[in-house]
Structure 1
Amino acid sequence: MKQRLLSVAVASLLAGFSTQALADGPTFYGDLNVSITDSDTGILVQGTGNKSGTVLENNSSNIGIKGTHDINTNLYVVYKAEVGVNGGDQSNGKEPFSSRNTYVGLGGNFGEVVFGRNDTAFKASEAGVDAFGNLNADIFAILPGQDRVGDSITYTLPKLGLFTGKATYLLEDDFYAEGADVDGNNFAVMGGFGDKGLKKAPYYIGFGYVDGISDLTSYRITGQLKLADLQLGLIYQDSELTSNSDVDGTGYIVSAKYPLGNFMLKGQFGYDDGGMGSFAKGLDTDGTVKEVTNYTLGLDYTLTKSAYVYGHVAYYDAAIDNAEDIDDTLVTVGMRYRF
């Protein structure tokens, strides 16, 4: 019943914005991304209950409104209300929406501070390295820390040339269950110099650190470089559980993109020796996951400025102590439309 009321409320809210209202205030936007995927294990397929075989994936499709409202020349309101759109899957017929980044706050010469649900600063530190973001070959399969959290405060630095920075703090009394044993300081920070889109500058270098969010203490270093048309990316990450430093690991991601007319060739390699990514966590094994290795090759084809089709093949291999190794091959074709 609550989900039905939420669905009606969201639909009414979006319908309530006329063309004139949208022009003057909020921006209504959407991102619809679906694919057909064949997977051996189903561990990484999205929106299907981790079913193996051939499935229809919903890859973080969403709609939302966002905008700013001037209070005076030095201060403005900033807001965003975004929900995941899940109704394309048969099992989600009664739960067509899910929570995503939703916040409100203030901005000015000091930067922006917002309150609500948001990507952590540590997640933002991936910059533009991930060549297969929001898909079953996303870096979250290898590296921990790609979190979106509620009950949080996010501060973003003002524009300082090519410098960027962000911080996240969790209100732990609200975020965690009453009486929970909380370790760590529940914050994350990131900083960078350059342009993660590789347009304003042909390079980007950044760092990220998280302490306690999702029981993770980790730092990462990020780098991107554009050589002629070739785009290269690298993430190095060292992680451990905040509650148990004996569980730790080192991982890295190397990516490359190269345009050929309307095509974009993409490749990515990932490795982690801590078993802390989503692929390792999803394995059904009595052994201990020691290493996960990933190879992904893909191709995008641009149809219009707002739409493209894509395909990729991703291979994951988990080396497991005291049990049989497990691997998975995912073959995916899909389409994405943004407005």
Structure 2
Amino acid sequence: MQKKLIALAVAGLVSGGAFAQSSVTISGAMDLGIESVSASSATAGVNATSRTRITNNTSWLRFSGAEDLGGGLKAVFQIEQDVNGDTGSATGISSRNTYVGLAGGFGTAIIGRYDVHYTTHMGIVDWGSSGAMPHAANTLNIVGQVNGVGVIGGRLDNVIAYISPSFSGFTAQLGYTTGAEATTPNLGGKDSAWNLFLKYGNGPVGAFWSHTDTNNGNGAARTADLEVTADRLGAAYDFSGFKVGLIYDRTKITLTGADRASRNAWSLPISYKAGANNFYFSYAKSGDVTGTAGGANTNASSYALGYARDLSKRTQLGVSYSRINNGSAANLDFWTRGVGNVNAGADPSSFYLGMYHSF
């Protein structure tokens, strides 16, 4: 009711054409916390000394809606942006998933900006960064990164995607991007990329497989063209509130010339819910990066412990501790909102106390 009232109030402030958008919904979340971070035991360079900060995790604002076109067909749209609750710095109004498309019995087809590969497993096998748990407690710290290259997958521009309807719990998503400007050494900068994502959910069982392939992605920090092939597979079982999952990731990266990098990684996420109490644990490990761009002691492991208390259906308090143990030649950081400037061998850690509220 609250969202509908807000939508009607907004409609009253704009032109008459907006009145037809009777199903527009305004929603969002504020996700902030106090965090102490550091990175110690560097084998090269200096450590990142301990500091306390206010961390904005995934705070966002969304406008979404649909128009009934008749015959079971709907026009759908979403405009979503990051909200930097810690600094108030500006972000683009469409910095998160933003698209327009058609939906019906055939599924949903969209064009715009959309997630590809890197977050597809969240909520199926692990808890992702849901509620009051920070990004530092995420399994992507290990399975979503290749040492020295960056996060594999991303929220990509210029995406054409199709999401199938559910068939007895099975759903498929196929996405293709025509390319965007190169900014970082990952899939965010590429000439083209495609992703196939399959998932299954039925009762206590959840499983997924995601494959992504890029061509001629130019990572600015490496001044060379990247070709990335990555596969991620996972499954979980929920034993009446006690959920155990397993994720496996294999990523291969080819640069122009003879430069190659490949690594395998896995993660074991565990969660338990009892009433308003939520307990989280995860352990993950990646092997050495092999190939001409790899080397010995580029392996890493991580673990995270967390507890969250539901104050209501929309409000949660949480506390967590997360740590990455880098090999002497590895410099992995938390996959986002990291410590920053992590030198080889340094081990990032995070102690976090946060609050989450959705609306």
Do both share a fold (TM > 0.5)? yes
Separation of aligned partners in 1, 2:274 and 2:122: 25
Determine which of 139, 162, 171 is the counterpart of 2:178: 171
Q: Does the 8 A contact of 1:247 with 1:274 survive in 2?
A: no
Cα pair 2:124 2:207 within 8 Å, conserved: no
Q: Do 1:35 and 1:332's aligned partners in 2 also have CA atoms closer than 8 Å?
A: yes
C-alpha deviation, 1:129, in angstroms:
2.5
Shift of the 61–15 alpha-carbon distance from structure 1 to 2, 3 Å rule, reads farther
Structure 1 counterpart of 2:284: 270
Structure 1 unaligned blocks of 5 or more: 1-12, 43-49, 196-200, 277-286
The equivalent residue for 1:338 is: 358
User: Structure 2 regions of 5+ residues with no counterpart?
Assistant: 1-6, 41-47, 145-151, 183-188, 218-225, 331-342
One-letter amino acid of the counterpart of residue 116, structure 1? G
CA distance in 2, matches of 1:239, 1:150: 22
Deviations 1:76-104 (A, max 9, x none): 11111000011431xx4455867111100
Aligned to 2:231: 219
Shift in Å, 1:248: 0.7
Letter in 1 for 2:10: G
Cα contact 1:310–1:335 (8 A) shared by 2? yes
Distance 2:92 2:79 in 1: 16
Q: Are the structure 2 counterparts of residues 332 and 271 from structure 1 closer, same or farther at C-alpha, using a change threshold of 3 Å?
A: same
Q: Which has the higher helix share?
A: 1
**2:174 equivalent to 1:162:** no
Task: Tell me the matched-pair count.
Answer: 297
- State the match for 1:85 in structure 2: 83
SS of the equivalent of 1:270 reads: strand
- Residues 1:307 and 1:275: Cα distance change in structure 2 (over 3 Å): farther
User: Is the partner of 2:86 in helix, strand or coil?
Assistant: coil
Tell me, yes or no, if the aligned pair for 2:80 and 2:93 is still in contact at 8 Å. no
How far off is 1:21 after superposition?
6.3
Name the residue aligned to 1:208: 210
- Partner Cα distance (1:14, 1:57) in 2: 33
Q: What secondary structure sits across from 1:320 in the alignment?
A: coil
What whole-Å deviation, never above 9, does each CA across 1:271-299 have from its counterpart, x for those lacking one? Answer: 122569xxxxxxxxxx9761111011100
| 8 Å CA contact 1:275, 1:290 repeated in 2 | yes
Over 3 Å counting, the alpha-carbon distance change for 1:67 and 1:61 in structure 2 is same
1:1-339 to 2 correspondences below 5 Å: 16-17=10-11, 24-41=22-39, 53-89=51-87, 92-93=88-89, 99-121=95-117, 123-133=119-129, 135-144=135-144, 145-172=152-179, 175-176=180-181, 186-195=193-202, 201-212=203-214, 215=226, 216-243=228-255, 246-273=260-287, 290-321=298-329, 325-339=345-359
Indicate if the aligned counterparts of 1:122 and 1:146 stay in contact, CA closer than 8 A.
Answer: yes
Higher relative contact order (CA 8 A, sep 6+): 2
Partner SS state of residue 141, structure 1: helix
Q: Is the Cα contact below 8 Å between 1:131 and 1:267 reproduced in 2? A: no
Answer whether contact 2:326 2:344 (CA < 8 A) is retained: no
CA distance in structure 2 between the aligned counterparts of 1:18 and 1:158, rounded to whole angstroms: 35
Deviates more, 1:241-250 or 1:260-269: 241-250
SS in 1 for 2:39: coil
DSSP-derived class of the 2:124 partner: coil
Cα distance in 1 between the residues matched to 2:92 and 2:176: 30
Q: TM-score, normalised by structure 1?
A: 0.78
Q: TM-score, normalised by structure 2?
A: 0.74
Task: Determine what percentage of the aligned residue pairs are the same residue.
Answer: 23
Q: Secondary structure of the residue that 1:16 maps to in structure 2? A: helix
1:157-204 Cα deviation digits (max 9, x unpaired): 1222201110110113xx246xxxx98861001112224xxxxx1101
Go from structure 1 to structure 2 and tell me whether the alpha carbon gap of 1:224 and 1:22 turns closer, same or farther (over 3 Å shift): farther
Following the alignment from structure 1 to structure 2, what is the Cα–Cα distance between the partners of residues 271 and 67?
Answer: 41
Q: Distance in 1 between matches of 2:192 and 2:89?
A: 39
Q: What SS is found at the alignment partner of 1:159?
A: coil
* Cα distance change on mapping 1:22 and 1:28 into 2, 3 Å: farther
Q: Is the 8 A contact 1:292 1:317 kept in 2?
A: yes
One-letter code of the match for 1:237? D
